[in-house]
Amino acid sequence: MSTNDNANSGLYSQTAPRESEGNETTPLLPNISSARGASFAFSVFNLMNAIMGSGILGLAYVMASTGILSFCILLILVSSLAGYSIHLLLKLCDLTGISSYEDLGGRALKKPGTVLVGIAILIQNVGAMSSYLFILKSELPAAISSILSPDQSGDVWYLDGRLLLILITLCVVLPLAMFPKIGFLGYTSSLAFFFMLYFVIVVVVKKWSIPCPLPQNVTCQVSNSSDMECTPRLFIVSSRGAYAIPTMAFSFLCHTAVLPIYCELDRPSKSRMQNVAIVSISLSFLLYFVSALFGYLTFYAHVKSELLLSYNAYMPRDVLVMTVRLAILISVLLTVPVIHFPARKAVILVLRGNRPFSWLTHIMTTLVILGVVLFLAIFVPDIRNVFGVVGSTTSSCLLFVFPGLFYLKISRQPLRSLDSIGAMFLVAFGLVVGVISLSGIIFTWVQRF
């Protein structure tokens, strides 16, 4: 999710919007473009950090729910539409000079647009933070248990995931989130990409270490697994497929970071930034697909909604699994305060507008947001529920609906133009997929009860 560097949208200043005349566009941020900005490679790295997140842990489960070929088609579709919606945002940025997603909403729909985008960003980032804290809750006890000797494991407080989560939130996340500016966390968030790359490598390597059929203690079934369970399936139709597109949308959402990265790009131009987006999405697609494919080919139908949990039952004390678990935990812990920043910014913007900074508002907003996130992380039973609900609602809006809608409202292009038709398709696709996916997820909940 990902949302690793969504906070970057609040770390850059915004220039005053400038209208273009006729069909010509104004140069983007001339005061920044005159200075040397971030290189093409560094911008790709930044955008990949914004894309890669906790969603990578849920994609193997999605492949097990849809089949390899179906998964590949859907992943290509979602990543392509993500790239196209970035293309529309960049056109709007050139057209208006606006470098903030919330302010684009304000230009398109006035005050309701700003509020709508602010609420969507808040819910999206609360969902992202909840998914990260959920990973801490599920993986931290396993990490501690793998370090201890078997006779030390048992019903002890430091193996209680909920208690550990509360302590970590109060002692680490809260102090870091209290800072009004978090530029210094940008350096630590760059580690996230390397941790994700290491995770993918370990998933590939461990494919050859785990036999199939899986042992009974892994499948949790009375009867032994059959050889048929070791045959990959290309197409699967099941109610669990309702989580597919929402989880993918959750995984490719980086749109709140695109415009700020554009502003810092060396020799910024729409085509240059579009190439940054294409390279970033393509590399992220590759990492997502490889991790999902080898995770699925390791556990097949028994893959869990959070992939690392699948390894716990079979090789809890394996050195590589222990190190990748530690890497993911560090990445998660350092990223939560970064994601918190735009969520708090969105709340304050909606409630107070552009009033002067207030420590009271800052502290109260921080405490309330972290309280809600902690509550969700503790009581939500399955991480796929976070991916599904957030992905089918706010991720679909920020990824598909809003870029298309804002382009139709702001652009002066005729409705029969190629980009206008594409924008209308984005809006329709986002709304239809969001409604169908959310309905399917609710249906699976009802079936369970």
Residue 139: the pLDDT is 80
The listed range with the strongest mean pLDDT (35-39, 67-71, 158-162, 194-198) is 67-71
277-287 pLDDT per residue, tens:
999 999 999 99
Which residue has tokens 């009004």? 180
- Per-residue pLDDT band at 431 (split at 50, 70, 90): very high
Q: What angle do CA 292, 247, 44 make, to 5 degrees?
A: 75
Work out the pLDDT band at 19, boundaries 50, 70, 90. Answer: very low
- Which DSSP helix (H) or strand (E) runs through 253? none
What are the E-state strand segments in 9-152? none
- Would you state the pLDDT for residue 391? 82
Q: What is the predicted pLDDT for the residue at 20?
A: 40
User: What residues have CB less than 8 Å from 271, skipping those under 6 apart?
Assistant: none
228, 53 contact by CB (below 8 A): no
Say what the pLDDT of residue 446 is: 79
**pLDDT score for 240:** 76
Express each pLDDT in 152-189 by its tens digit. 555 677 778 889 899 999 988 888 888 776 555 555 55
Q: Are 106 and 113 in contact (CB under 8 A)?
A: yes
* Average per-residue pLDDT for the chain: 80
SS (HEC) of 185-231: HHHHHCHHHHHHHHHHHHHHHHCCCCCCCCCHHHHCCCCCCCHHHHC
Return the CATH class of domain 6-12+28-389.
mainly alpha
Tens digits of residue pLDDT in 275-324: 989 999 999 999 999 999 999 998 888 888 888 888 877 776 778 888 88
pLDDT of residue 126 exceeding 80, the answer is yes
Does 35 or 177 have the greater pLDDT score? Answer: 177
Q: pLDDT tier at 56 (50, 70, 90 boundaries)?
A: confident
Q: What is the mean pLDDT of residues 237-259?
A: 83
Tell me what the mean pLDDT of segment 41-47 comes to: 80
What is the reported pLDDT for 286?
94
Query: CB of 46 within 8 A of CB of 193?
Result: no
Whether the per-residue pLDDT at 218 is higher than 70: the answer is no
pLDDT at 102: 84
Determine what percent of the chain is predicted with pLDDT higher than 70. Answer: 84
Per-residue pLDDT, 132: 86
Please tell me the predicted confidence (pLDDT) of residue 413: 85
If one compares 240 and 83, the residue with the highest pLDDT of the two is: 83
Q: Given 3-state DSSP classes, what are the helix, strand and coil percentages for the chain, each rounded to the nearest 5?
A: 75, 0, 25
**The pLDDT of residue 6 is above 50:** no
Residue 190: per-residue pLDDT: 64
pLDDT band for 5, please (50, 70, 90 cuts). Answer: very low
Residue type, 37: G
Rounded average pLDDT over 114-124: 88
Which residue is listed with tokens 């793998």?
Answer: 146
pLDDT in tens, 393-426: 888 899 999 999 999 999 888 888 899 999 999 9
pLDDT band for 368, please (50, 70, 90 cuts): very high
59-72, pLDDT tens digit by residue?
999 999 899 999 99
CA distances (Å), origin 406, targets 81, 91, 399: 16, 11, 12
| Region 137-146 average pLDDT | 80
Q: Are 305 and 384 in contact (CB under 8 A)?
A: yes
